[in-house]
Amino acid sequence: MFETLQAQPADKILALVQMYREDPREMKIDLGVGVYKDATGLTPVMRAVKTAERQLWETQDSKVYTGLAGDPAFGDALVDLVLGDAVSRDTVAAAATPGGTGAVRQAFEMIQMARPDARVFVSDPTWPNHLSILNYLGMEIVPYRYFDAETRGVDFNGLIEDLKTARAGDVVLFHGCCHNPTGANLNPTEWDAVIDVLLQTGATPMIDIAYQGFGDGLDEDAAATRKLAAAVPECLIAASCSKNFGIYRERTGILMAVSADTLATGLNQSTLAFLNRQNFSFPPDHGARVVTMILKDDALRADWQAELEEVRTGMLGLRTQLAGELQRLSGSDRFGFLAQHRGMFSRLGTTPELVEKLRKDHAIYMVGDSRMNIAGLNPQTVPVLAQAIIDAGI
């Protein structure tokens, strides 16, 4: 029977990884893979994670299943981390998922259950998994403008114009701070305008947040998500612990459904549990338990936040260094957007042909749309990249 299956398109990121590995040049720079790396090229296990895992190993006396929605303590810890006191806890349904992508999938499934004809507005650009899941589920995708190729910032006027075409029953997918692949973020005033449009149209927002703590700080990075959740009648939030806790392979995520009243919360909670049951029954627990231990223990949390702050300021330093080096080499401030962007990613705003030129002539690997992972740099490779960008005529 399986001879009827169709070959699926190759993953472009994985293909780029393989090309990088096979490149024999000694000086080569990988800016394609979307994982954090330190100055040595390692994705380290955070100190607090190691300590919590050691404590867990010593004290855990059972590996029995948790509930369908995961350990309630994990839900409480993540709701507090992401939403703070923006909404009442009893208006938030939450279920643990296999990573942030698992939360996104469950969110889309929940939307489809509630509104089979819902349109999902998605920023241009967004992450491939968003589009892939939506297409697989057969849900209608409506792109909205986001990135301005001239300024390398947000095309805010285009964004607002497109969002005004949404209607009640539609869903608008937003990125939390640092999550858009371009590195460009909406400012607080722009978020206020977005909220006004949502209230006018009746569309439901969904936020995918995976880099809290990578931009301007834990609370600062959650500010837009909190403001949005507090302002609208209901919303969905898919959150990941892969990046800010460095536990990529543990697949630790959560889906939150914020509602206007506790009656709706109960229905949402039972729906989330039902969806988990249909997809994987009980969610993975190890990463979720480690995260819970860190967030509930003052000493572990302080150590985690200190290390996360080192990660955040390190990336900001690389951004400032790269923007300064490019200004020196080009004699202009046209690359100043690199210092304004936040998180791991920035989009140079150049052509696939020049991206390919960077790879062939300089062994610099980035995605074809010129998205690059700033965390793939270190102080020694920043000047190399800057010179290559100038030499390539970008």
User: What residues act catalytically?
Assistant: 127, 208, 210, 243
| 338, 326 contact by CB (below 8 A) | yes
> What is the distance between the alpha carbons of residues 185 and 343, in angstroms, rounded to a whole number?
10
- Alpha-carbon Rg of the chain, whole angstroms? 21
Single out the residue of 339, 376, 337, 331 nearest to residue 358, CA to CA: 376
Is the omega angle on the peptide bond into residue 125 within 30 degrees of 0, that is, cis? yes
Question: Residue 9: which residues within 8 A CB-CB, separation 6 or more?
Answer: none
> What is the distance between the alpha carbons of residues 209 and 215, in angstroms, rounded to a whole number?
12
Q: For the chain, what is the largest distance between any 2 Cα atoms, rounded to a whole number of angstroms?
A: 63
> What is the distance between the alpha carbons of residues 184 and 178, in angstroms, rounded to a whole number?
7
Single out the residue of 296, 230, 297, 246 nearest to residue 92, CA to CA: 230
Across-strand partners of 97?
A: 253
Residue 52 tokens, joined: 């919590």
What is the identity of the amino acid at 96? A
Q: CA 281, 287, 288: angle at the middle one, nearest 5?
A: 65
Single out the residue of 181, 162, 171 nearest to residue 235, CA to CA: 171
> What is the distance between the alpha carbons of residues 172 and 269, in angstroms, rounded to a whole number?
21
Single out the residue of 192, 115, 101, 182 nearest to residue 145, CA to CA: 182
